[in-house]
Structure 1
Amino acid sequence: MTQAPERRSGELTAREMLRWTWRQLTSMRTALVLLLLLALGAVPGSIIPQSGVDSLAVSRWKDAHPSLTPVYEKLDLFSVYDSVWFSAIYLLLVLSLVGCIVPRLFVYAKAMRALPPAAPRNLTRLPDSAGYRTDEDADAVLARAREVLAKRYRLRPAAEGDGFVAGERGRLREAGNLLFHLSVLIVLAGFGVGALYGFEGGVVIIQQSKQCPDCGTFSNTLSQYDDFDPGGLFTPDQLNPFSFTVQDFGVDWLKSGDRAGQARGFDAKIAYRQGTDGAEQHYDLKVNHPLSIGDTDVFLIGHGYAPVLTIRDGHGDVAWSGPTAFLPQDQSFLSFGVIKARTAKPGEIGLEGLFYPTFEVIDGNPVTVFPEDLKPALSMLVYTGDLGLDDGSAQSVYVLDKDNATQVMKADGRPFRLDIEPGQTVKLPDGLGSVTFDGVQPWVRVQISQSPGKDVALAGVVLALIGLCGSLFVRPRRVWVRARPVDDEDGVDTGGRTLVEVAVLDRSGNHEVDEVVRDIVEQLQGQGQDSSPEHSQEHA
């Protein structure tokens, strides 16, 4: 018979290793660590622009940080909540909480059915206790004790010969703890449902005006979005049929004081329709005041300026006319933009430069001194030739392909810069045409999203608060009253023939237990006869 090889100290079989791993994963310590990691993992998702929320902000960030961009892309920091590492933390946390909570539910259910424990042999040795003597019969004292304690405690059934009354309260404290941890699972489940079945999309919408009557309208179809981030189980059938038009947009700017130049409020007045034949309705879309259409929410998350230009080519034909959204670069709303006149002849015309809402020259440098468009101006470089618009490849509207284009120069060989204000027309060199600055239109950026699990997550948060209140304010407490006959010591009357002992054990560390002991003693003595409180004793 072949003997099994001896196991070395600390060596575990595959089954034992799996059991040890499971115990480590489902420990409360591991759950807390994973919850902390999940919170830390969400930090870059709040600080770094996310492609699913604002792709324009991501593009600006990449342009401003070219050296960090490859690192961030490799770590999926532009799409944190869809990354493998964040999903791994999320799933491990769910697994840890399930393995941690489910066994405790069975233990708690068993504890709920258990009777209050019997009285210790010597109650006066407990930290909070008192005793007194009385001439009343021990059975009468115990019967009255049951009446007194039954008002606030769950009592242990009486048994012949016990000689004590035992009560317990505050078992809901553990229920509060379990409810709190269970609510974390509910919140995670809500977020998980939203991540799987929901979506987030963004679109820049230029306000409708007489100069651009076709602007400002959005229909809830996939082709209308500038960026769209669907969940893993999203289907286009989930898109609610609706449309809306941005009819007006206003900003309440602070023009004096320390906060001059900051916005006090934003208001986009929109007209919307549900379905194709719904009645037109109006709504004031504001920050933190979204429009809800069906189960879809529309949020106002940004705004900017869209200069209105008319570009005529060398033949005098209009090659471009309309507003173009420029992207704010800082809080002064100095904005960057690109305009591409594809049909211009003899060559395509491209403009790239800055928009100044309130233009001033300070110390020889062009600046904008206020974010409102009080004195708008454009300063742009001009390019002509092949702008890469016909090669079939995708191209951002905020990027000008200059690889095969020629920069327009002045006669002295310096770059030609188009500096223009509203109402002005500037002719381009070499008979390329002219540019007219017709005015400025505001644009708004809206986020449109569906979050199917938000009600589940909200319910989880509410349950977490209820559970937290229960675990903080419910005080688990046990109380015992023992009554037994005693003999006089050496024939001397010591104050009664029945010794009554009262003890309270508070499992929450409450320092007011001595008051509870005194209250029980007073109720027992106040209803009794011939009691001797001068013989009572308390032990702190």
Structure 2
Amino acid sequence: MADTKDAVALGPLEMLRWAWTQLTKMNTALFLLLLLAIAAVPGSIFPQRIQDPTKVNDYIEAHPTWGPIADFLQLFDVFSSVWFASIYLLLFISLIGCVLPRAAKHYRSMKTPPARTPKNFGRLPQHRTLTIPAGAGNLDAKRAIDDAAAVLKKRGYRVETREDAPGVLSVGAERGYLREFGNILFHVAMIGVLVAFGAGSLFGYSGQKVVVEGETFVNSLISYDSFDPGTNYNPDWLNPYSATLDSFEVAYDRQEGSPTYGDDIDYTAEMTLTDSKGESSTETLKVNEPIYIEGTSIYLLGNGYAPIVRVTNDDGSIAYEGPVVGLTSGMSYLSSIVLKVPDAQPGQLGFVGMFLPTGETEYGAPTSIDSDLYNPMLVLQSYTGDLGLDDGVPQNVYVLDVDSLEDLNTMAKGNGIVLDGSKPSVQLPEGHGTIEMLGVKRYVGLEIRSDPGRPIALVSFILLFIGLIISLFVARRRVWVRAHSSGEGADRVLTVEYALLARGEDPRLADEANRLTDLFASAWGLEFDEA
């Protein structure tokens, strides 16, 4: 039995080299990319603290055992967690480690002359031998090689002529270096995508705001209904511009006999934008056609109706007056309404109900038969008591807890409030004043986004696509042509051999060989038979 020796232990430097080699392999980069996608999944499953800390606290309270464990594992702070950042940085380093050596190697190969001429062309996948009789076109080996080099240069090959032996001349040619350049460009663009993603996650933000016709949204933290900042974004960086919703128009399908008759088919919001310098402009906002200002994009997300309501106390003072945003449900824009009036006298008032754009009560329960404002109707129930607004605990403006309130007007009592064009106001019982519907306005739901990585992502995706196309359609090929004379006098012949080799699979290699045959014949002004 042969003697065996123990493997030599690797020192710290060798271990670092081994680790770097493993990290910069392409299969490692692909694995890390897959791992990053998997690591992002908990961010869509668990509530994130940066977006809604209240939901996180509620989740932990509802799961007393699992909640603290999930918090320790940073599942509520996925995109700023140590493990997510580690995967992201390792992927970034891996791609750079893959690209830089490949780029340096490719640069050196471009400076290196084409590979030496093989001795046996018959072993190559495409090879031809052309036998030219003496005196045909006054050709000799030197002129044949010079002409072949010129033809190959026109075909985009990088060429080098050489003398393999006395009287035997050859030319080596290569092309397709752009293919490797496309591969490198593709991976550089991947790095750009990672940079763009990181820039957006760290320094971008998104927010939502409901704006009623005639109202102005000011780009400050207090104006947002919800605000989701990037990990390192500071709300003090918000540019103080404003956006006013001048009008909102909806186009409906009114074609008789259409199966979608009455459905809304187009939305147009006219807005006045005023930048931080005080300069104003009018812009049109449509679905999938955002408007841009001060580095942010404003998108149209939704719309609905906001009936204008006034609540007046018995002494004539106004407890509330303004639009009430309704949450739409269904194709007919039937909207749920919640109104809280803490300034009402002699007690606080709360209203819940629904708004119907085209109200109909002829056949029983109120319903809306069209999305347009043909018969605006507001159906409400009223309650009185402590609304809990003075406790300092945040409340959902679209929810009214009626368990601790006394009902005044309800459908069950038969005195529910119904306001429309024929009856715009109703007296509330027990001296709680009156409620009126003064009109109806439209509102829009806006999403405001700032993503500093978006220009980088756009350029990176374009470069990624270009690199992919180049790497798929550019062929890497080598061509060698050799010429030598044999025989004497009338028996003298010039033998020209050439062969082609592809780097990788190239189904068009035979076509290239045929094309070169035609070009050589044209350059020499000859007609010959292939041997």
Q: Shift of the alpha carbon at 1:202?
A: 2.0
Structure 2 residue matching 1:387: 3-state secondary structure: coil
Is 1:533 matched with 2:528?
yes
Cα 1:50–1:236 change in 2 (3 A) is closer
Aligned to 2:116: 118
Q: Shift of the alpha carbon at 1:338?
A: 1.3
Could you give the per-residue CA deviations for residues 246-281 of structure 1, whole angstroms, max 9, x where no partner exists? 1211111223423334432221222232336x3543
> Which 10-residue stretch deviates more, 290-299 or 155-164?
155-164
Q: Shift of the alpha carbon at 1:228?
A: 1.9
Structure 1 residue matching 2:154: 3-state secondary structure: coil
- Using the aligned pairs only, state the percent identity: 38
Contact 1:496 1:532 in 2 (8 A): no
Q: Distance in 2 between matches of 1:90 and 1:421?
A: 58
Counterpart of 1:513, as a letter, is L
Q: Distance in 1 between matches of 2:362 and 2:76?
A: 37
Contact 1:381 1:415 in 2 (8 A): no
Structure 2 residue matching 1:374: 3-state secondary structure: coil
Cα 1:6–1:497 change in 2 (3 A) is closer
Q: Shift of the alpha carbon at 1:241?
A: 3.0
Q: Distance in 2 between matches of 1:79 and 1:324?
A: 35
Could you give the per-residue CA deviations for residues 329-368 of structure 1, whole angstroms, max 9, x where no partner exists? 3444222231011011221100122222233459755433
Contact 1:308 1:323 in 2 (8 A): yes
Counterpart of 1:417, as a letter, is G
Cα 1:301–1:409 change in 2 (3 A) is closer
Q: Shift of the alpha carbon at 1:99?
A: 2.8
Contact 2:312 2:433 in 1 (8 A): yes
Cα 1:363–1:436 change in 2 (3 A) is closer
Q: Distance in 1 between matches of 2:440 and 2:263?
A: 20
Structure 1 residue matching 2:388: 3-state secondary structure: coil
| Counterpart mapping for 1:261-276 below 5 A | 261-275=262-276
Q: Distance in 2 between matches of 1:44 and 1:360?
A: 47
Aligned to 1:397: 397
Q: Distance in 2 between matches of 1:30 and 1:233?
A: 29
Structure 1 length normalisation: TM-score? 0.80
Aligned to 1:432: 432
Q: Distance in 2 between matches of 1:43 and 1:405?
A: 42
CA RMSD of aligned residues (A): 4.0
Counterpart of 1:320, as a letter, is Y
Q: Distance in 1 between matches of 2:337 and 2:74?
A: 28
Cα 1:359–1:82 change in 2 (3 A) is farther
Contact 1:52 1:200 in 2 (8 A): no
Could you give the per-residue CA deviations for residues 277-329 of structure 1, whole angstroms, max 9, x where no partner exists? x3543222222333322323333222111111122345553221111111223
| Counterpart mapping for 1:447-462 below 5 A | 447-462=447-462
Cα 1:124–1:6 change in 2 (3 A) is closer
Structure 2 residue matching 1:533: 3-state secondary structure: coil
Aligned to 1:349: 349
Q: Distance in 1 between matches of 2:426 and 2:295?
A: 50
Aligned to 1:524: 520
Q: Distance in 2 between matches of 1:42 and 1:360?
A: 49
Aligned to 1:442: 442
* Uncovered stretches (5+) of structure 1, i.e. residues with no partner: 209-215
Is 1:336 matched with 2:336?
yes
Count of matched residue positions in the alignment of Structure 1 and Structure 2: 504
Aligned to 2:496: 500
Aligned to 1:203: 209
Aligned to 1:469: 469
- Correspondence for 1:172 among 178, 186, 195: 178
Cα 1:83–1:286 change in 2 (3 A) is farther
Structure 2 residue matching 1:142: 3-state secondary structure: helix
Structure 1 residue matching 2:254: 3-state secondary structure: coil
> Which 10-residue stretch deviates more, 396-405 or 44-53?
44-53
Q: Distance in 2 between matches of 1:367 and 1:42?
A: 44
Is 1:233 matched with 2:232?
yes
Aligned to 1:182: 188
Cα 1:80–1:356 change in 2 (3 A) is farther
Counterpart of 1:533, as a letter, is F
Contact 1:327 1:336 in 2 (8 A): yes
Aligned to 1:155: 159
Q: Distance in 1 between matches of 2:87 and 2:329?
A: 35
Cα 1:89–1:372 change in 2 (3 A) is farther
Counterpart of 2:300, as a letter, is L
Structure 1 residue matching 2:430: 3-state secondary structure: helix
Cα 1:387–1:526 change in 2 (3 A) is closer
Q: Distance in 2 between matches of 1:49 and 1:332?
A: 33
Aligned to 1:213: none
Cα 1:195–1:352 change in 2 (3 A) is same
Contact 1:97 1:181 in 2 (8 A): yes
Counterpart of 1:219, as a letter, is V
Is 1:142 matched with 2:145?
yes
Q: Distance in 1 between matches of 2:152 and 2:216?
A: 71
Could you give the per-residue CA deviations for residues 472-493 of structure 1, whole angstroms, max 9, x where no partner exists? 23221111111234469xxxx9
Is 1:375 matched with 2:370?
no
Could you give the per-residue CA deviations for residues 86-134 of structure 1, whole angstroms, max 9, x where no partner exists? 6565444333322322232222222222221112221133221110222
Aligned to 1:512: 508
Q: Shift of the alpha carbon at 1:459?
A: 1.5
Cα 1:76–1:366 change in 2 (3 A) is farther
Q: Distance in 2 between matches of 1:496 and 1:28?
A: 56
> Which 10-residue stretch deviates more, 359-368 or 439-448?
359-368
Q: Distance in 2 between matches of 1:303 and 1:44?
A: 31
Structure 1 residue matching 2:389: 3-state secondary structure: coil
Q: Distance in 2 between matches of 1:270 and 1:515?
A: 61
Q: Shift of the alpha carbon at 1:139?
A: 3.3
* Uncovered stretches (5+) of structure 2, i.e. residues with no partner: none
Q: Distance in 2 between matches of 1:358 and 1:13?
A: 81
Counterpart of 1:230, as a letter, is P
Cα 1:369–1:13 change in 2 (3 A) is farther
Could you give the per-residue CA deviations for residues 424-458 of structure 1, whole angstroms, max 9, x where no partner exists? 22233333333222221111122223222222222
Structure 2 residue matching 1:455: 3-state secondary structure: helix
Is 1:250 matched with 2:256?
no
Contact 2:381 2:409 in 1 (8 A): no
Is 1:421 matched with 2:427?
no
Counterpart of 2:226, as a letter, is D
Q: Distance in 2 between matches of 1:25 and 1:329?
A: 52
> Which 10-residue stretch deviates more, 26-35 or 216-225?
26-35
Cα 1:22–1:408 change in 2 (3 A) is farther
Contact 1:52 1:228 in 2 (8 A): no
Could you give the per-residue CA deviations for residues 390-431 of structure 1, whole angstroms, max 9, x where no partner exists? 112222222224454233366x97486333324422233333
Cα 1:327–1:34 change in 2 (3 A) is farther
